[in-house]
Amino acid sequence: ESEEKSVMTLAEVAEYLRISESTVYKLAREGVIPAQKLGKQWRFHKLAVTDWLKGHNTSDSKKP
């Protein structure tokens, strides 16, 4: 994977996850999704987001 795409903006993460930018912002602000704030902008490591997504299977969360 190219080095320039290993770090994504909030808009890129929203597109990658196919959710709204406001939802990504909320998840980042609440510490739910792995993110780092640089100044006033959020940055996301693609590998960390992918790993986070793999660990959040809805079928797993519904098991007793």
* Closest by CA position to 31, among listed 47, 60, 2, 52: 52
**pLDDT number for residue 36:** 96
pLDDT at 26 exceeding the cut of 60: yes
CA 36 – CA 56 distance, rounded (Å): 20
Q: What is the pLDDT of residue 1?
A: 47
**Chain centre distance of CA 24:** 7
Strands (E) across the chain are located at 7-9, 36-38, 41-45
- Residue written as tokens 């609440």? 30
Report pLDDT digits (tens) over 32-59.
999 999 999 999 999 999 999 999 765 5
How many Cβ atoms sit within 10 Å of the Cβ of residue 36? 12
pLDDT at 31: 96
